[in-house]
Amino acid sequence: MVTVPVRLYAATEEAGRVSFNLLHEKCGSRLKQQYVCAKDGDVVDRAAMVKGYEFEKDRYVTFTEEELQALLEDASPAIEISEFVPADKVDPVFFDGAYYVGPDKGGERAYALLAVALQRTGRCALARWSARGRQHLVMFRAGGLARRSSTPPLVMQVLHLAAEVRDAGEHTSHVPVGERELKLAVALIKKASSPVFRPEAYEDGAVKRIQAAIAKKVKGDHVVVAPAPAGAPKPTLDLVEALQASLGKRRARSRRAA
CA–CA separation, 58 vs 12, rounded Å?
41
Q: Give the chain's length.
A: 258
Residue 154 has pLDDT above 80, yes or no: yes
Q: Which of 125, 122, 127, 119 is nearest to 152 (CA)?
A: 119
Q: Do the domain assignments include residue 79?
A: yes
Q: Do the domain assignments include residue 191?
A: no
Q: Do the domain assignments include residue 48?
A: no
> Tell me, what's the pLDDT at 222?
62
Confidence class of residue 174 from pLDDT cuts 50, 70 and 90? Answer: confident
- What CATH number does residue 99 fall under? 2.40.290.10
Residue 11's contacts (CB-CB under 8 Å, 6 or more residues apart) are 97, 98, 99, 100, 155
Q: Do the domain assignments include residue 199?
A: no
Domain that holds residue 92: 6-12+74-162
Residue 41 has pLDDT above 80, yes or no: yes
CA–CA separation, 136 vs 127, rounded Å?
8
Amino acid identity at 90: V
Q: Do the domain assignments include residue 116?
A: yes
Q: Which of 98, 230, 204, 79 is nearest to 156 (CA)?
A: 98
Q: What pTM did the predictor assign?
A: 0.71
Q: What is the H or E stretch that residue 256 is in?
A: helix 239-257
Q: Do the domain assignments include residue 63?
A: no
> Tell me, what's the pLDDT at 124?
94
Q: Do the domain assignments include residue 112?
A: yes
Q: Do the domain assignments include residue 229?
A: no
pLDDT digits (tens, 9 = 90+) for 184-234: 989 999 998 888 888 788 788 888 888 888 888 888 866 555 555 666 566
> Tell me, what's the pLDDT at 12?
79
CA–CA separation, 245 vs 222, rounded Å?
42
When divided into structural domains, the chain yields a total of 1
